[in-house]
């Protein structure tokens, strides 16, 4: 593996050539995305927050729906929490939605509705880190600030054949310096979008398209094993396992739900009553008194960044019917479930379970 190249070892014409090849490629091949057709910092902010933890393919429809219903800061500041969560339902990482609304209210009260136009002002918005600040400032205002995200780490690491780890303070500083050096300060908006596109569609994590890469002739990893080995991480991410048992208490065409607390994953969303364990060996807790588990359905595992969720739904009936008012749940009609925002795995489950044509879906495999 190559050692980290010294900055002085990079000739200026290497940098100029990289910019020129990258921008030429981008102008012909850049992705046509709805948030690329605007300089409105509000819309760029919304798109960047959606894309923080969501793929472009999935985020696009959410962005268009969100902007069509909440076209400006004022509309977002005034939206109800339930409506906001419905717009966000399925995207995950719901603190992003809460932070957007919180920041929109702050822009209204502290800045008279004017979106901040300095790096410090943008960075002060809740949920906005250095990457999002650079993206908003460069794309909306042509401010020369280099973006660094997973795509940029990967492109620079392979381009320079650098084994500097991307998850240490020293390694990050190295890539920040390189990103700043490579940034085309006369065209920061196009340059930042170009390097992110290159990482997203050509220099991909696996099976990169090196043969059609516009910077292949400059790439220090091209044609070597380094392409698959870079970028390097020093620490391994620990993935915790969680075992979740949701109880579907069915009673008179209604079922019980509860609202999650406003912290942790899925904050503020509705869910079926839940029992969680860190171990597969811990059996689910018994259902409420008077209720019997009549079916057990296994949902597909749900992957979060640091957690793998193993999910089961325990379908419960009461015989004879119990007084539901004695339970501290909200009871919603089965026909109305789509009006409530649920976490993605539960939304998929409810859509199929209550679909009129598929009551026997679960009988075959007991798995959704």
Tell me which residues are annotated as active site: 48
Q: Alpha-carbon distance 84 to 341, whole Å? A: 9
Answer for which of 227, 265, 293, 322 binds ligand SF4 (CB under 6 A) is 227
> To the nearest whole angstrom, how small is the minimum distance from the Cβ of residue 238 to ligand SF4?
28
> To the nearest whole angstrom, how small is the minimum distance from the Cβ of residue 123 to ligand SF4?
30
Burial of residue 284 (number of CB atoms within 10 Å: 0-12, 13-18, 19+): middle
Q: Alpha-carbon distance 131 to 138, whole Å? A: 11
Q: Alpha-carbon distance 162 to 230, whole Å? A: 8
What is the DSSP secondary structure assignment for residue 284, as one 8-state letter?
P
Binding window for ligand SF4 (CB under 6 A); candidates: 24-32, 86-94, 210-218, 286-294: 210-218
Q: Alpha-carbon distance 218 to 206, whole Å? A: 20
Binding window for ligand SF4 (CB under 6 A); candidates: 145-153, 218-226, 269-277, 290-298: 218-226
Closer residue to ligand SF4 in complex, CB, 209/355: 209
Q: Contact between 136 and ligand SF4 (CB under 6 A)? A: no
Answer for which of 202, 244, 269, 297 binds ligand SF4 (CB under 6 A) is 202
Q: Contact between 350 and ligand SF4 (CB under 6 A)? A: no
Binding window for ligand SF4 (CB under 6 A); candidates: 15-23, 83-91, 214-222, 352-360: 214-222
Closer residue to ligand SF4 in complex, CB, 134/161: 161
Measure CA 353 to chain center: 26
Q: Contact between 322 and ligand SF4 (CB under 6 A)? A: no
Closer residue to ligand SF4 in complex, CB, 210/322: 210
Q: Contact between 215 and ligand SF4 (CB under 6 A)? A: yes
Strands (E), the chain: 240-251, 254-259, 270-271, 274-277, 291-298, 302-303, 307-318, 330-333
Binding window for ligand SF4 (CB under 6 A); candidates: 14-22, 38-46, 209-217, 235-243: 209-217
What single string gives the DSSP state of each residue in 123-187? HTSTT--HHHHHHHHHHHH-------SHHHHHHHHHHTT----TTSHHHHHHHHHHHHHHS-TTS
Decide: 347 and 311 in contact? Cβ < 8 Å.
Answer: no
Q: Contact between 155 and ligand SF4 (CB under 6 A)? A: yes
∠ CA 259-273-291, rounded to 5°: 140
Closer residue to ligand SF4 in complex, CB, 227/293: 227
> To the nearest whole angstrom, how small is the minimum distance from the Cβ of residue 336 to ligand SF4?
50
Q: Contact between 138 and ligand SF4 (CB under 6 A)? A: no
**Given the rule CB under 6 A, which residues bind ligand SF4?**
155, 158-159, 202-203, 208-210, 213, 215-216, 219, 221-222, 227
């Amino acid at each position: 593996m190559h050692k980290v190249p010294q900055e002085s070892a990079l000739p200026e014409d290497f940098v100029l050539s990289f910019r020129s090849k990258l921008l030429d490629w981008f102008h012909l091949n850049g992705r046509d995305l709805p948030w690329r057709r605007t300089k409105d910092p509000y819309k760029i902010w919304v798109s960047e927050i959606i894309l923080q933890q969501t793929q472009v393919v999935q985020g696009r429809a959410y962005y268009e729906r969100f902007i069509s219903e909440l076209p400006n800061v004022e509309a977002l500041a005034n939206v109800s929490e339930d409506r906001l969560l419905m717009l966000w339902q399925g995207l995950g990482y719901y603190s992003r939605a809460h932070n957007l609304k919180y920041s929109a209210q702050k822009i209204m009260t502290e800045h008279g509705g004017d979106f901040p136009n300095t790096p410090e002002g943008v960075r002060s918005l809740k949920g906005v880190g250095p990457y999002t600040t650079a993206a908003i400032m460069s794309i909306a205002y042509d401010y020369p600030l280099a973006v660094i995200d997973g795509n940029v780490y990967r492109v620079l690491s392979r381009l320079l054949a650098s084994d500097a780890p991307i998850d240490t303070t020293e390694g990050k500083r190295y890539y920040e310096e390189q990103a700043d050096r490579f940034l085309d300060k006369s065209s920061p908006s196009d340059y930042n979008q170009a390097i992110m596109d290159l990482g997203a569609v050509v220099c991909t994590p696996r099976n990169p398209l090196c043969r059609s890469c516009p910077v292949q002739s400059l790439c220090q990893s091209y044609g070597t094993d380094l392409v698959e080995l870079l970028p390097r991480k020093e620490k391994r991410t620990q993935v915790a396992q969680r075992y979740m048992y949701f109880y579907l208490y069915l009673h008179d065409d209604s079922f019980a739900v509860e609202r999650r607390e406003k912290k942790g994953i899925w904050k503020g969303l509705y869910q079926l009553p839940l029992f969680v364990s860190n171990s597969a060996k811990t059996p689910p807790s018994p259902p409420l008194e008077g209720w019997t588990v009549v079916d057990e359905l296994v949902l597909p595992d749900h992957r979060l960044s640091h957690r793998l969720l193993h999910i089961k739904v325990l379908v419960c009936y009461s015989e004879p019917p119990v007084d539901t008012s004695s339970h501290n749940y909200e009871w919603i009609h089965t026909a109305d479930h789509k009006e409530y925002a649920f976490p993605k795995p539960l939304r998929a489950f409810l859509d199929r379970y209550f679909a009129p044509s598929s009551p026997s879906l679960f009988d075959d495999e007991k798995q959704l």
